[in-house]
Chain A
Amino acid sequence: MISVGIDIGSTATKAVVFDGRIIGKAMEITGWDPKEAGYRAFRGALDIAGITEDRVGPIVGTGYGRISLPILTGKVTEISCHARGAHHLHPGTRTVIDIGGQDCKVISLSDDGSVSDFIMNDKCAAGTGRFLQVMAGILDATLDELGALAAGGEPVPLSSMCTVFAESEVIGLLARGTGKENIAAGIIDTIARRIQGLAGRVPFLETVTFTGGTAQNPHICRIIAERLGTRLHVPLEPQFVGALGAALIGWED
């Protein structure tokens, strides 16, 4: 059997084709039309797998845009999908940290891989990919550059976690001549503190797996790991974990 998982996030849409192992994957910018992005990622992943649409069994959608895609045979929340995907890639996973475009979450897993608890911040941009993007923009850097900058800096404490206030705080720091490295380190430390705050509210057991596009950045991973005092396991392509989880859930049912 072949299953497909499609994760339509606020920034990127990911698709994974699975037949017992991953045989194709594709990513598209979500943009203003999540439905179209979903189709494109779906077809792109099938192309890479070299498979025609009629051979696909379950197509499971996740992510905020999952409601908009008619081809889906099932819909599952990001929470279940990230847990499932992370557990597949790192079978010892008991905690998943996911930083998405507009939310961040910490998920606790039982030893059989099922979700036992979770906590989410979705009220504001604090601690999300969106926050990092806005901050990188002020420093005139890409997300990768932000991480590289931070690697060489001593974090300046930012008092605000709210994007709007942090923005003016960062502008103020720049005006006062604070080094970009230190500001960048401060920005990432803000994210780490936010995750730390969430992690304190659910059982936080090792192994900890870090998913979502932000996890691609090694410097960000290191700073968060230090804050949490734990090792973070980062899958090879952390942005696909949700889509993989969706494909796995389709494959199993």
Chain B
Amino acid sequence: MTKARTFSEISTLRERNALAVKEAKEKGRRVVGTYCLYSPAEMVVAAGAIPVMLCGTSQNPVPAAEKVLPRNLCPLIKSSYGFAVTDTCPYFHFADLLIAETTCDGKKKMYELLGEMKPLHLMQLPQVQDDAALSYWTGEMVRLKRRMEEDFSVEITDDRLREAISLVNDERRSLKEFQDVCKYNPSPISGMDMLTVLHNRGFTVDKREAIELVDRLTAELREMAEFGVSPFTPSTPRILLSGVPVGIGSDKVVRLIEECGGSVVCFESCGAYKKVEPVEETGDPLAALADRYLRIPCSCMSPNQGRLSLVEQLVREFRADGVVDLTWQGCHTYNIESFSLKKHVQGTAEVPFLQIETDYSESDTEQLKVRIEAFLEMINRAKRTG
């Protein structure tokens, strides 16, 4: 399989940059850890600090977490907590401040425990997307700004915020263009490789470096696509993966879909397409941030019509042949919402839909394979009979 040149450079960022973060810290830079898409990276950038994503995507620290947390809790929460309590994530280790939000119940309560290990700022996230919620959430943006100003003895001016917004918007543009190369049929990059890039590109001290790398990769991939270079064929079933956050380590379902003969062409999830919508660059920067972040279509919102529309739109844009909705065990919000999403997808986009509920362990691999293979057989047959 031919890979784009820049791919390996990005896929090793996470390992290489732990050292860079350490050095930056020694020179006085602050590090801020986040766990969720609702954390405004712009605020961290405007404070001159380095934002790092700490969301746990590995099974390794789960057993340690289960000494404290219930076993039937979402693996993402257990993994995130496990990394902290075992001190095995360098990025957590270097973090000076954690930003957290009241999203789902599990995370909210887990943050109480994290707060005993590190300074933690909790943002009270409303769970509805209306005007009253927006004004409340704008207040939360102000509170976050003050906290960072106090903790880091800096002033976050509107100008610095605007600069940060424009930088993070450029990152979004770059990420969107990268993911959009999968609109080619066949896609020039596998879903596993795309996930590797989405996961690792965030671990940079300087966002500009990551933007430049991803842009370079996108250009290479476009060229490959123009020449028809792809790990797939035009008849490979194209799968849209919706649902909970996924990363390297929690990539089991992505891997299985591609091992069974599918191609994951789009991730609707948090590190991927849920992220790409830009922040308004005119007007009051705090209000613009509040507006953009409150609109994130996470299942902890009620109602959450935005997600149904987003998935519908992505099925069309990426010409997906089927939707796989991945939900972590113990995640009530995504598991319940799967029912509405299925109805919506079958009713509007009219493509097959498969929900997979699983965790980070490998124990159900064989059973999952049967389901995924059957799902792909179903799609293949529909494609043949057209």
Contact = CB atoms under 8 A, between A and B. Distances in A.
A209 interface: no
Contacts, number: 44
Contact of A120 (B353, B370, B385): B370
A77 B364 contact: no
Nearest to B357: A123
B240 to A, nearest CB: 17
Number of chain A interface residues as a range: 10 to 19
Number of chain B interface residues as a range: 10 to 19
Contacts of A78: 370, 374
B154 interface: no
Interface in B361-386: 364, 366-367, 370-371, 373-374, 377-378, 381-382, 385
Nearest to B368: A122
B370 A114 contact: no
A142 B366 CA distance: 30
A224 B373 CA distance: 28
Nearest to A107: B374
A116 B378 contact: yes
B200 to A, nearest CB: 32
Contact of B371 (A64, A76, A114, A120): A120
B352 interface: yes
A118 B374 CA distance: 9
Q: Which of B366, B371, B373, B374 has the most CB of A within 10 A?
A: B374
Given A112-B385, A122-B370, A123-B364, A79 B377 contact: yes
B256 to A, nearest CB: 13
A77 B374 CA distance: 6
Given A77-B370, A114-B378, A117-B352, 17 more contacts: A64-B370, A79-B370, A79-B371, A79-B377, A80-B374, A80-B377, A103-B367, A114-B381, A114-B382, A114-B385, A115-B378, A116-B378, A118-B374, A122-B367, A122-B370, A123-B364, A123-B367
11 contacts: A76-B377, A79-B370, A79-B371, A79-B377, A117-B353, A118-B374, A118-B378, A120-B367, A122-B364, A122-B370, A123-B364
